[in-house]
Amino acid sequence: HWLMLALVTFKTLTLLTQAIMYLVIEKQGSPHGWNWVYYVTTALRGSLFFAVIVLIGTGWSYMRPFLDDNTRKVLMVVLPLQVGVAIVHKLHWFFCVCALWVACRMV
């Protein structure tokens, strides 16, 4: 539970640093170091997320006898959906940044 709390905390810190970075870019034109804070918190959040998934994966064999069939089916659906959402979110962000860069270059 403490690891999940840390994951939620780093997710919150990532969103906060991203918001501050965009605010500084809007006000001053460049992030002035906030981009590195955002990159570090994003990397730590990603590492922590990977560790949580690995721990859940290894604990699956220990938890299997205690889970009923309905809970097992829910976990088998929710975990791949969560990974898929994370991948789609990163791809969406990448293509939006690329489109913005192209639009800025055309101006």
Residue type, 101: W
Rounded distance between C-alpha atoms, residue 90 and residue 105, angstroms:
23
Rounded distance between C-alpha atoms, residue 86 and residue 64, angstroms:
26
Candidates 83, 68, 22, 12; CA nearest to 45 is 12
- pLDDT class of 80 with cuts at 50, 70, 90: confident
pTM of the model: 0.54
Per-residue pLDDT of 53-70, as tens digits, reads 877 776 655 666 767 788
